[in-house]
Structure 1
Amino acid sequence: MKIKTGLLLACCLVPASVLSDELTLRVQLAGGAGPVTGAVVYLNDGSQASPLRAEMFQKDRMFHPQILILPVGSSVDFPNRDNTQHHVYSFSPAKTFNLELYAGMPETPVLFDQPGIVELGCNIHDHMQAFIVVADTRAIGKTNEQGEVTLALNFGASQPPGSLSLNIWHPRLPDNTRPVIQEIDAASLANSTAEIVSIELKPEPRNEGPLDHLQKRFREL
C-alpha cells in the first residue's frame, strides 16, 4: 500500500523594509508533527551565483553528499573511494551523462550548465541514488534539523517583480524530477502572515537488500 505524507511549508516572511537582506522559511510536517530536514528551497530574486568546482564521491556504496546544490555553470568531480567499481550516470533532462565502470578519479569533471534537478544512479548498485540541484539564483538553501532555512535576497536598487516563484524540492516528492512551485505576490512580503504550501512525500525507502549476482562480480577490485 502506497502511503503519502503531507507537508506544509510555512514561510515566515520578513517586512518589506528588510526584503533586500533575507527571508526565513520553515518546513514542517502537516499537523505540526515535526520539522522536515533536507528540503531545498529557492527564490527567483534575479541574483546569480558564480560557478564553482565541487565533488560528489562514492564511499560504502553510497553517494556523498546525497544532495548537492550548485550554481549554473559549475563542474563536479566524482571520485570513487570504494573498494568496488561504480558506473555513474544520469538520464535527467537538465544533464545527461555516463561515467562507465571505473575506480579512482575520472579524468575530467562533469559540467552542469542548465538549471534543474539531476538524479544520479549507479548501473552496478541499484540502490545508490543522489541528486544535484542546479539553480540560477543565490537565494537558495537547504532546511536544517529544525526545518528552517534563511535565503539571502538581493534585489538591489530595483523593486521586486509583481510575483516571485518559490521553489520547494525534496527527494521524496512523488515527482522528484522537478520542484513544487508556489507563486508569491511580492506585495505579500510586507505582511506578517505566513504563506503556506501543502505538498506530499513518499515514505522513507527501505534499507539496502543483499547484493545481486552482477553486484557481487564487481564487489572487489
Structure 2
Amino acid sequence: MSSSLKHLLLSLTLLALFEAKASVTLLITDQHSQPLENALIEIELKQKNARKQADKNLYVMDQINKTFKPHILAIPQHALVNFPNSDDIRHHVYSFSKVKPFELKLYAGKPKSPISFEQLGVAVLGCNIHDSMVGYIYIHDNNLIYQSDSSGIINLEAPINSIANAWLWHPRNSKGVNQKEIIDVNTLTQNDSPVIKLTIMPPETRESFEDVFKSAQ
C-alpha cells in the first residue's frame, strides 16, 4: 500500500471518529461574552422513527416561594402538565400566549386536571396575584433538549453526524421570546468546545408578566 493511500485512509478514519464523537461541550454566551444560563439547545435527529414515539410522561410546573419551578419547562408537543401550588398562599396561573391560552383561577394545592399543550412554541406564564411570577413552557417537536447551566455550559451528548437540525432559544432573545435561532451544525465540529453567542435583552428591573408578554407579541 502506498504512503499516499495510507495517509488518505488515516485521514478518513480520523474524520469519521471526529464526526461520530459521543459528546460536545458548548459554551453559550451573550453579546458581551458573558455565560448565558437557561439557554435551550433543541436537536432534531436524522433518524426520526425512535424519537417520534409518544411521550406519556406527566410534567410538573410547580409554584414555590412565589416562583415557577422550574423557571423553564421543556415538553414535547401534546404533553400534559400539572400545576401544583406548593406555597401556603393561593396563586392564579394564566397564559395569554397563542400556543396555549389558559387560566387556573385562584387555588391552593393541585388543580383537578393537567393541561395539554398541543401546539409548538412558547407559553409565557404569569400569576394574576403575584405580578413578578414569570415562567416559560417550551413546547417542541419531540426532539432532544439540553439546557445551559449557570456557567453557560451544555454537554451535547448526541453524536454530531446524527444531527439533522439544531436551534438555540432563550427567553430574553432580543428578537422576542418566540424566536429560536438556527445553529449551523458544521460549527459544532470546529473545535472541542464551540462557543455560541446570542444577543439578549437586559433583565427588567422588576421582571413582570406584563413586560414579558408584551415582548412576545
Question: Does the TM-score normalized on the shorter chain lie above 0.5?
Answer: yes
Structure-1 separation of matches of 2:124 and 2:152 = 23
Which structure has the greater CA radius of gyration? 2
Structure-2 separation of matches of 1:81 and 1:149 = 30
1:114 correspondence with 2:119: yes
For normalisation by structure 2, the TM-score amounts to: 0.72
* Structure 2 residue matching 1:44: 3-state secondary structure: strand
Report the CA distance shift for 1:153/1:176 in structure 2 as closer, same or farther (over 3 A). Answer: same
Report the CA distance shift for 1:23/1:115 in structure 2 as closer, same or farther (over 3 A). Answer: farther
Q: Aligned to 2:92, which of 87, 91, 99?
A: 87
Structure 1 runs, 4 residues or longer, greater than 4 Å off:
158-161, 186-191, 193-198
Aligned length: 187
1:29 correspondence with 2:30: yes
* Offset of residue 116 of structure 1: 1.4
8 Å CA contact retained: 1:115, 1:134 = yes
| Aligned residue number for residue 11 of structure 1 | none
Q: Encode CA deviations 1:91-110: one digit per residue, 9 max, x unaligned.
A: 21222211112122110011
Report the CA distance shift for 1:59/1:195 in structure 2 as closer, same or farther (over 3 A). Answer: closer
Please list every run of 5 or more consecutive structure 2 residues that lacks an aligned counterpart in the other structure: 1-16, 209-217
| Aligned residue number for residue 109 of structure 2 | 104
* Offset of residue 112 of structure 1: 1.7
> Which structure has more helix as a fraction of its residues?
2
Structure-2 separation of matches of 1:134 and 1:24 = 24
Q: Encode CA deviations 1:19-56: one digit per residue, 9 max, x unaligned.
A: xx444321023454x32111111122243463411211
* Offset of residue 130 of structure 1: 0.2
| One-letter code aligned to 2:36 | V
| Aligned residue number for residue 205 of structure 1 | 204
1:16 correspondence with 2:55: no
8 Å CA contact retained: 2:86, 2:109 = yes
> Which structure has more strand as a fraction of its residues?
1
8 Å CA contact retained: 2:93, 2:126 = yes
Report the CA distance shift for 1:160/1:180 in structure 2 as closer, same or farther (over 3 A). Answer: closer
Report the CA distance shift for 1:31/1:77 in structure 2 as closer, same or farther (over 3 A). Answer: closer
8 Å CA contact retained: 1:52, 1:73 = no
For normalisation by structure 1, the TM-score amounts to: 0.70
Report the CA distance shift for 1:151/1:114 in structure 2 as closer, same or farther (over 3 A). Answer: farther
Question: Where in structure 2 are the equivalents of 1:1-221 lying within 5 Å?
Answer: 15-18=18-21, 21-32=22-33, 34-45=34-45, 46=48, 47-48=51-52, 50-153=55-158, 161=164, 164=165, 166-184=166-184, 191-192=190-191, 198-207=197-206
